Each structure stands twice: as structure tokens, then as C-alpha cells.
Structure 1
Amino acid sequence: MQQITKPQGLERHFPLIAAGLSGLALLRPELFSWAGAFIAPALGLIMFGMGMTLDWEDFKGAAARWPSILIGLSLQYSVMPLAAVTLGAVLGLPRDLLVGLVLVGACPGGTASNVIAYLARADVALSVLLTLCSTVLAPLATPALVEWILGHRIEIDFYGMMRSVFWIVVFPLMDGLILRRLLRRHLAPVQRALPSVSILVISLVIACVMALNREAILAFPGLALLAVTAHNLLGFGLGYGLTRLFRRNTTEARTIAIEVGMQNSGLAVALAVKHFTVLAALPGALFSLIQNMTGAVLARRWSARQASDRKNEGPGGPS
């Protein structure tokens, strides 16, 4: 089972490290922009490490809690699209920004959510299953939501999405699980170092995203930043609160909140450029940055509280 320990070392300074590197990326983007081609392998490396902290029984247990998976998927494809529409009406967003926000909301969960779930001491196995399930549903759910809300038909490359998730999430995770099964007694030093390594890698990924989108970020309209930040926070907040209303425990609520609040923003950007306008891609680009920064803050806060919460709850049932 995944070990729940008090945050140590770099874990205590995750938001500060991420913010510091992101600020440096704005000043010196060339220090980080080169890493754009390595974001996927970097996430895969973290997933490989996470596999070494899990057992097959973790996934069996997560799959057995199928009501939680259904709750997570339902919130994934309802909270964020509806929040986008609501924010568009409340803030009076221009058409292009509304389109971009709706595209973000209609996308499946992103692979970075699994990393944040791990750092937050949430249920990693459940997070991975939710990412896989929402991605499988995306070729049907995302176009349907976009057409219903925006009246515009789009298409998604199903096999391309599945290839990406397989190589970034499934393949390295399974390798880690197998390695743990074979070398369980010899992996303790690696497992102790993994949280710090993961924090460094995800912080560098955030800085790289900042560097690659520097011009858009510096030139963004304040309204777009407000809308994207509110959208992301609503995803986290409603994901957590509504899951608790279904009487799931805090660990599952945190896991689902991370999955709902962290979207496949790269897909949203690609769909915006392909089917709409370049300006419609701005919310997706901003969301990629905001979700990782807020995710870092939540991971730090929740990881510090999770050990005590686990003592008061059953292994996956309602508290």
C-alpha cells in the first residue's frame, strides 16, 4: 500500500519552489523552454516512480469502489462545463474566451493530476483510474458537450489520446509495479527520495509551461486570468464539496477534487486552434499554469493533514 508519512524535505516547500522557478522562467525563459520536448517523458518518469510505491491490490481496491469512480466521472463532465458557462455569463466574457473556457471544462482529466494526487497523499490508484476512464469517454463526451453548449461540432483523435495516456501513465506505472514486486526489499531508498524528485520534476514542468507561454501570459487580459483562476478553483472546491455530499471520505474527496480541477488543458489548446481561433486557446494555456500552481498549494496543504485523517477513517469507505 502507498505509505502515508509526514511531509519532509522539499515537500514542505513545494509551492515556494514551483513559484520561484516559474518567476525565473518569466525572466529567463530560455533556461526552461528547451525542456518542452521532455514534459511527457518527465511525467512518465514520475509515474514509474509512483508505480514503485503501489501494489496491484491498490488498484483492485480502487476498482471495487466503483461508486466513487462514477461520482468522479459525473463531476468531471458536469462541474467544469457548467462552471465555464456560469463564469461566462457572470463575467460577460467575449465569445473567444468563453469558447476557450468551455473547451477546458469539456476536456478529460490531465495526467498531471496523478502526480498532484501522489504529492497530496490522495488515492493515486483511484486518480489513475479516473484519468483513464475520463480519457476513454472524452471522444464522445467532449464533442457532445461542446456541441450542446457552443453549437459547434468538433472531432477528437481517440487513438492519439489513448497512445499518449498509455505511454505517459499506464506503461511506466505498470513497469514500476512490476519492479516493486520483484525488488520490494531493495527499493526503500528510492521510495524515500521519490517525493522530493517528483516535486523537482513537476516544478520544472510548471516552469517550462510558463516559459513556453511567456508572451501570452505577459500580454493576457486581466479578465481571462480572473476567469481561468475562478474556473480552476471552482473545479477543486465543487469537486471536493460535492464528493463529500455523496458521503465519500476525505481522501476520496481530495482525489476527485484534484481530478475535476486539473484538466487536459493541452487538448483544449489543440482543439481551440484547430476548430476556433488562436484567442480561444488562451484560457487553455493559462489553465495549464494555474492548475499546476494551485495544485501545488493544495498538495502541500493536504499532504500535511492526510496522515491524521487516515487514522480516523476506514480504508476507502465513508467517514
Structure 2
Amino acid sequence: MEQSVLIEIGLPAALFIIMAGMGMTLVPSDFYRVASSPKALIWGSVAALLLLPIVGILLAMLLRLPPEIAVGLVIIAACPIGTTSNLISFLARGKLALSIAMTVVGSLATIVTLPLFVNFALERFVDADTRVYLPVLETISMLVCIVLIPVLVGMFTRYKAPALAARIERAVSVFGAVVLLTLIIGISVSVVDQWAKILTTAGPAVVALSICGIVLGFLGSRLLGIYAVEAISVVVGMSVRNAAIGMLIAINMMNSPETAVPAALYGLLMYLFGFGLIGYGRMTIKSAV
């Protein structure tokens, strides 16, 4: 798929707006509330940012995925926690403050961890003759521009004009869903002649990654004695990834729509699993916290 102005400029601009919208949901007190009991935040962040990418690497090796799909699976596993995790956690009667804190910690930490995991995957799965490394400093700079800066802009906007921020945040949530759907459709069209093969290779791997994330989140939370209301937020954070950033990395920085396919599939499936987690949370947790 040839690069275009829409992809090169429009996609980063759209992500900037989406992340600014997330910043408009945040206030400093969100983090103070979880600081007094950080066990769930530490576990959730480590599991989402370090363990899930390792699971992605192991699945790619175990399933012997084609190089592009293997790298794409690691990319989506290493992506930041998706902004819709906060809404899903709230609807599942999880701890909203914990979910928000995990989202922010994840967004900041993946500025460094994502390029490192992706380059490891490229080293492991791509032949030396065709290998293209993801430039770490350039990727970090890009993520700072589309993650850190807009979040700070959003928080500042909420601080200065909370009523305006509330109205804008609702519109941005809808805009984010439209952007993700547009990306998924665009990628599907660009690889339409390979779709059957891609589904048989990437589909099982993406489903397996989703299930492993949910199981790992629940088991780890149970072993650590984390309360159910916090555990459901941890699991949601493990399950919901920022698929748009994964597609941005694959398309803009690697020029590979095939590598973007796992992120596109995950972007669809994570909402199906999210609905399941909402149902589970509302059946097992008495009230939202």
C-alpha cells in the first residue's frame, strides 16, 4: 500500500486528537487514589507492558507465524492500553481510578518498551536480507508527540475549562471509534487478495493472544490477592490495546499493511471480549468502585 497524505499526516493527527481526549478525562487526584495501594497498579502495568508482549513472542514462535504476522502480533501485544479500557472497566464495575492510572502509565512506558519489543521481533522473525529495524529514537519521538504531549494538553484543557473538556471528550470518543473502523476497513481492502490466508494465520494467533491476556490477568490477580473490583480493571487493561497505534507503526514506519493485520483483527475482537468482561463483572461484582 503506497503512502498517502491521509496516512502520513491524517493518522498521526487523528491519534493526537484521540489521546488529547483521553487527557481530558484525567485529573491529578485520579492517581492519588491508587497511590496508597499500588499493588494492583504495579501488577497490571507489568503484566500489560512486559508480560503480554512476551506472550506474543512465544505465540508467534509456537504457531510458526509468517514473519509479517509474527511481527504484527508482537506490535499489538506491545501497544499501550487502549483508551476505551476506562469505559469498559467502568461498565464492568471495576475500579475506574485504577483503570485510568494503568492507561496513563502504559501510554508513557510504551514510548520506550514498544520499539524495543518490535525490534526484538524483527531480529527474531525476519530474515537478515529483508530485515528493517524500527528506529528507536525516531519511534520514541513519534510516540512522545502522539501520546505524551496530547495527554498533557488534554489535562491542561480540563484544568482550565472543565465544562468544555467534558463536551469535547464525548465527541473525541466517537471520533476514535470512527478512526479505528476506518483503519480496519482500509487495511482489509489493501490486502483483500490475501484475506483468506491472513485469517487462517493471524486469526487464531490474535484470539490466542486475547485469551492469554485475560487468563494471565485473572490468575496473577488471584495469586497476588488483588480484590475482584481491581482484578477486573487489570484484566480489561490486559485485553484492550491501542490498535490504532499498532497500525500506525506498521503502516507509517514499516510500510507494511500485512504487518498491520493483527492489530486490525485485535481492534475488532477486543470489543467482543470486552462485552464478555462487562457481563462477567456485572454478574460477579456487586457495585462499581
TM-score by length of 1: 0.67
Residues 44 and 167 in structure 1, CA contact (< 8 A), matched pair in contact too: yes
Aligned residue number for residue 243 of structure 1: 217
Aligned residue number for residue 253 of structure 1: 235
State the Cα distance separating 1:205 from its structure 2 match.
1.4
Superposed, 1:206-217 pairs within 5 Å as: 206-217=180-191
Identity of aligned residues (%): 17
Residues 48 and 175 in structure 1, CA contact (< 8 A), matched pair in contact too: yes
Give yes or no for the alignment of 1:294 onto 2:269: yes
TM-score by length of 2: 0.73
Aligned residue number for residue 23 of structure 1: none
Q: What is the RMSD computed on CA atoms of the aligned residues?
A: 3.4
Could you tell me which of 49, 58, 80 is aligned with 2:30? 58
Segments of structure 1 that go 5 or more residues without pairing to the other structure are 1-32, 274-280
Give yes or no for the alignment of 1:136 onto 2:105: no
Question: Structure 2: how far apart are the matches of 1:59 and 1:215?
Answer: 42
State the Cα distance separating 1:69 from its structure 2 match.
1.9
Residues 79 and 114 in structure 2, CA contact (< 8 A), matched pair in contact too: no
Aligned residue number for residue 106 of structure 1: 74
Could you tell me which of 135, 148, 153 is aligned with 1:170? 148
Question: Structure 1: how far apart are the matches of 2:47 and 2:245?
Answer: 17
Residues 210 and 289 in structure 1, CA contact (< 8 A), matched pair in contact too: yes
Superposed, 1:12-23 pairs within 5 Å as: none
Aligned residue number for residue 95 of structure 2: none
2:84 is paired with a residue whose SS is helix
Superposed, 1:1-319 pairs within 5 Å as: 36=7, 37-59=9-31, 64=38, 65-88=41-64, 98-107=66-75, 109-110=78-79, 113-121=81-89, 123-150=99-126, 152=128, 154-184=132-162, 186-187=163-164, 191=166, 194-195=169-170, 197-247=171-221, 248=226, 249-259=231-241, 264-269=246-251, 281-302=256-277, 311=286
2:160 is paired with a residue whose SS is helix
Residues 69 and 261 in structure 2, CA contact (< 8 A), matched pair in contact too: no
Aligned residues: 262
2:89 is paired with a residue whose SS is coil
Deviations 1:86-135 (CA, angstroms, capped at 9, x unpaired):
222xxxx5xxxx10122113336335x42332342361331232233233
Aligned residue number for residue 93 of structure 2: none
State the Cα distance separating 1:70 from its structure 2 match.
1.9
Deviations 1:207-235 (CA, angstroms, capped at 9, x unpaired):
43245335433212413112222222222
State the Cα distance separating 1:304 from its structure 2 match.
6.5
The residue type paired with residue 285 of structure 1 is A
Segments of structure 2 that go 5 or more residues without pairing to the other structure are 91-98
